[in-house]
């Protein structure tokens, strides 16, 4: 994937995200760099089964990464790690080559200096990020990522029923606790709380 397509990629990404912002530019350029580093040329075509991306933040850049790479949660090729860091790891599943790309915090200051004629700091960042090179925007780490078989794309390896709530759990996410098979919320607590005496009609 050639970087000369960046304007088209930004347009596609902004349509998906809803607007164009500095995070979108970072995400698109981060994706282009990551794909280049792992040797993926056609992420949405012939290389689509070779790529997986771990994203570390639920912000604008993640939508851009999904747009450029074609990776998604539903296809199990996009993995979300809630670290709050503007970083992503790009993995070639065929070669196991993996690189973690991290946005440099200093780039914000450099963007302001470079576009000091633009009063709006977000617009200044957006325009600066478009022209700044990879070395100014990112740090790169070569990494090793061990992906469990149950985290790979494809059909679920197993479906079991929670013995407390009786809902089904896929992909070996169940927890064995005191000789019971439980789902995560029944074992550890979930993000939701069931309300008592409530009948919901569909």
User: Tokens in use for 39?
Assistant: 């040797």
* Gyration radius of the chain's alpha carbons: 20
Does residue 103 register a pLDDT over 80? yes
CATH architecture, domain 3-151: 2-Layer Sandwich (3.30)
Domain borders along the chain are: 3-151, 159-188
Between residues 15 and 202, which one has the greater pLDDT? 15
Render pLDDT for 61-80 as a digit per residue (tens, 0 to 9).
999 999 999 999 999 999 99
Render pLDDT for 16-27 as a digit per residue (tens, 0 to 9).
888 888 999 999
- How far apart, in Å, are the Cα atoms of 26 and each of 38, 65, 135, 156? 18, 9, 13, 34
Indicate the pairing of strand 51-55 with strand 78-80.
parallel
Sequence-separated (6 or more) residues with CB below 8 Å from residue 90: 31, 34, 35, 37, 38, 40, 51, 53, 69, 98, 99, 101
Render pLDDT for 116-174 as a digit per residue (tens, 0 to 9).
788 788 888 888 898 889 999 999 999 999 999 999 999 999 999 999 999 999 999 99
Q: How many CA atoms are closer than 13 Å to the CA of 183, on its beta-carbon side?
A: 17
Dist. CA 54–CA 72, nearest whole Å: 10
Q: How many CA atoms are closer than 13 Å to the CA of 53, on its beta-carbon side?
A: 34
> Three-state DSSP class for 47?
coil
The model's pTM:
0.90
Q: Select the highest-mean-pLDDT range: 98-112, 122-136, 175-189.
A: 175-189
């Amino acid at each position: 994937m050639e970087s000369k397509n960046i304007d088209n990629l930004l347009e596609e990404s902004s349509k998906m995200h809803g607007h164009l912002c500095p995070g979108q530019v970072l995400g698109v350029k981060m994706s282009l760099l990551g794909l280049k580093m792992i040797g993926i040329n056609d992420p949405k075509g012939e290389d689509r089964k070779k790529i997986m991306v771990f994203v570390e933040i639920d912000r604008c850049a993640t939508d851009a990464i999904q747009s450029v790479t074609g990776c998604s949660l539903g296809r199990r090729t996009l993995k979300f790690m809630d670290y709050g860091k503007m970083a992503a790891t790009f993995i070639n599943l065929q070669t196991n080559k993996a690189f973690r790309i991290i946005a440099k915090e200093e780039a914000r200051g450099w963007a302001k200096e470079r576009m000091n004629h633009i009063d709006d700091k977000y617009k200044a960042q957006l325009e600066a990020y478009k022209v700044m090179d990879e070395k100014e925007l990112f740090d790169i780490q070569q990494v090793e990522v061990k992906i469990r078989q149950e985290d790979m794309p494809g059909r679920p390896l197993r479906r079991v029923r929670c013995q407390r709530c009786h809902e089904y759990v896929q992909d070996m996410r169940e927890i064995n606790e005191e000789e019971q098979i439980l789902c995560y919320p029944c074992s550890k607590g979930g993000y939701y709380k069931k309300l008592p005496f409530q009948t919901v009609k569909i």
